[in-house]
Amino acid sequence: MSRYVAEGGCQCGAVRYGFTVAPGAASFCHCRMCQRAVGNVFGAFSGAHKDQFAWTKGEPAFYASSTVATRGYCRDCGTPLSFAYNKGTWCNVTLGSLDDPNAVSFDQHHGIESKWPSLTLCDGALEEPTQLDERAEGFVNLQERLP
């Protein structure tokens, strides 16, 4: 039995990861950077503190998508896997890369200033624009505010 309570990985299986705790509530990020990074109208992420996360098979490649954050992906199949602020305590993974994405609840929309205009949000979730967060020297992510 695995010591991880949630696991996931890329499409080809070369890179795998695990969480020692259940990942936090998922968020959909509509900012332009996430749209481009995942090639869709929003990125869907969930995660936990960096010390509760580990790469368990293979090594992802990393891309510094800005001066404050890095994204991990599989160099073999191109699957986007992770997002983390360089100075933050949280590691997010793409929701679709989890083995069981349905086990994660949905919490918020982030970066709504870039929301696709014809996308109607009627789920009642919190909606917030991207904001500078001096503590993380990056942009606000509500998950970074969790203890």
Number of domains in the chain: 1
* CATH number of the domain bearing residue 25: 3.90.1590.10
The residue range of the domain holding 48 is 6-145
pLDDT of residue 102: 93
128 HSE (CA, 13 A, CB side): 13
pLDDT band for 20, please (50, 70, 90 cuts). very high
| Residue 1 lies inside a defined structural domain of this protein | no
Over residues 23-81, the pLDDT tens digits come to: 998 999 999 999 999 999 999 999 999 999 999 999 999 999 988 899 999 999 999 99
pLDDT band for 132, please (50, 70, 90 cuts). low
Which residue's structure tokens are 């970066």?
111
Sheet holding 53-57, edge to edge: 6-9, 16-19, 53-57
Q: Where are the alpha helices (DSSP H) in 18-139?
A: 32-38
pLDDT at 18 over 50: yes
Share of the chain above pLDDT 90, in %: 62
- The model carries a pTM of 0.83
Instruction: Determine which of 37-41, 78-82, 107-111, 133-137 has the lowest per-residue pLDDT on average.
Output: 133-137
pLDDT at 146 over 70: no
pLDDT of residue 100: 96
